[in-house]
Amino acid sequence: MTQVDQYQALEIIKNAQKILITPSDPDGDSIGSALALMSVLKKMDKKVTVAASNSVPDYLKFLPFTNQIKSEIPKGKDFVISLNTQGAEVDHLKYEVESGKINIIVTPKGGEFHGHDLSFQKSSGDFDLIIAVDTGDLVQLGKLLDENDELFKNTPLLNIDHHASNGKFGTFNYVDSKVAATTQLLTPMILQLEKEHGEELIDEDVATLLLAGIITDTGSFQHTNTSPEAFEVAADLLERGARQQEIIKHIFKTKSLATLKLWGRVLSKIKFENQLVYSSITQKDLEETGALSEDSGGIIDELLSNAPNVEVVLLLKEKENGFISGSLRAPGEKADVAEIAGLLGGGGHKKAAGFRIRNKTMDEALQLAKTTISDYLSQKTSQVFPNLVGQRQDSLPKVSPGGEDLLLEDFRKKSDSIEEKSVKFFQDADGQEKTVGDVLAQLRQD
């Protein structure tokens, strides 16, 4: 698990011929990164496959090449027969071809083999490199990982990402959390490949894919992760023909009736508690509005984050029974939602993060998330104002009998003393009282 820089990552890519690219849950940055890299590497005569567990959301299907994303990793042609040799050592093997079948004969040195020692599988695709883009943790690859465990174990993996919480799970890791999007990280890499390859690799389609990632992850340059470097890369991509207005139209301005109904339902359920604003989307909400899970994209950024005097914004989405995903935003200055997501098994950035909760109902997941956020915010408050939270006073001190008279007597004594001191202060050496004007005149002389 080696950290590499841009040039080392490029060498790894250039030395590979058959490449599998795996984006995380499809959004503008992950899809833009995967398809832009696919297009560029194909121009360099490499064999490239892009595969994702989840389908591309409708609002992103305008992007070039989305129809080339496969829902599963293509299997190889080889049929693999495995024999467990822990119980017996192999002496030699041979095979015989008969009509309609092949006999494979394995002779042990000692002991014997049994039927339960055999296993069969079709080989995974013949890849010499896997590139995971915009993926904070391999678990985000879902069924691709579950169904191709051996492929991921036995194939070098280059992890290219910008999430601060990235687990550095790759054989090689090119991770930079200072950039706004993974496509921002990829753009200078592709420009370097252009210089070395001697031909244009960023055409209008590739430029559009790369710009889509930056626009998505910066909220069209509204989020706090927008940097001067992000603007510079975006400007270069616009010069290359990136279709900015097309991106804005489909991602931010086009909403179906079902999406609007879903947004209305989410807004109607908004609640505010102790600097936390939260809402939820259940499977019932999706069914009754006719919306899809991906139609929730943008709700938390465009609507919930506008709440005033809020430190954390939470949106919980029920993917299926017992599986809840959460999105977090930090519109205030106190919270780092990447830290909160980490407490819940997720990760992300300081201002935007996510997590997953399994084997709990929506109510249980909501209670867990609320408690975690509340404890986190309380801890942050005590760190900023360490003396703000003290021991609880169960009751006020009782007034002793005659206490009022004692206080009055003490006040009178102090009043006499104050009056005496005042007279002495405003008297001269002969005992004559000075006026305020006399005192001021003396001070001016001094």
DSSP string, 47-75: EEEEB-SSPPPGGGTTSTTGGG-BSSPPE
Q: What is the pLDDT of residues 58-102, one digit of tens each?
A: 889 999 999 999 998 887 666 778 888 888 888 888 888 888 888
Name, of 290-294, 335-339, 410-414, the range with top average pLDDT. 335-339
Q: What is the pLDDT of residues 130-151, one digit of tens each?
A: 999 999 888 889 889 988 988 9
> Domain 2-74+125-250 carries which CATH code?
3.90.1640.10
Look at residue 392 in the predicted model and tell me its pLDDT: 45
- For CATH 3.90.1640.10, the residue range(s) in the chain are 2-74+125-250
Question: At CA 22, angle to CA 230 and CA 36, rounded to 5?
Answer: 45
According to DSSP, the β-strands at 18-23 and 271-273 are: unpaired
Q: What is the pLDDT of residues 204-217, one digit of tens each?
A: 999 999 999 999 99
All residues at 6 or more sequence positions from 290 whose CB lies less than 8 Å from its CB, including other chains: 258, 261
Look at residue 125 in the predicted model and tell me its pLDDT: 63
Look at residue 404 in the predicted model and tell me its pLDDT: 52
Q: What is the pLDDT of residues 399-417, one digit of tens each?
A: 455 555 555 555 555 555 5
- For CATH 3.10.310.30, the residue range(s) in the chain are 257-384
289 and 255 Cβ atoms separated by less than 8 Å = no
Instruction: List residues bridging with 326 in a β-sheet.
Output: 316, 355
Which of 63, 64, 80 has the alpha carbon at shortest distance from 151?
80
- Alpha carbon separation from 335 to 309, 331, 332, 339 (Å, rounded): 12, 9, 7, 8
**372 CA to centre of own chain:** 17
Instruction: List residues bridging with 328 in a β-sheet.
Output: 314, 353
Options 3.10.310.30, 3.40.50.300, 3.50.50.60, 1.20.1250.20; CATH of 257-384: 3.10.310.30
Q: What is the pLDDT of residues 2-33, one digit of tens each?
A: 999 999 999 999 999 999 999 988 889 999 99
- Alpha carbon separation from 58 to 63, 183, 329 (Å, rounded): 10, 21, 24
Residue 396 above 60 pLDDT?
Answer: no
> pTM score, two decimals?
0.68
For 381, list phi and psi in degrees, rounded to 5: -65, -40
Query: What share of the chain has pLDDT > 90, as a percent?
Result: 48
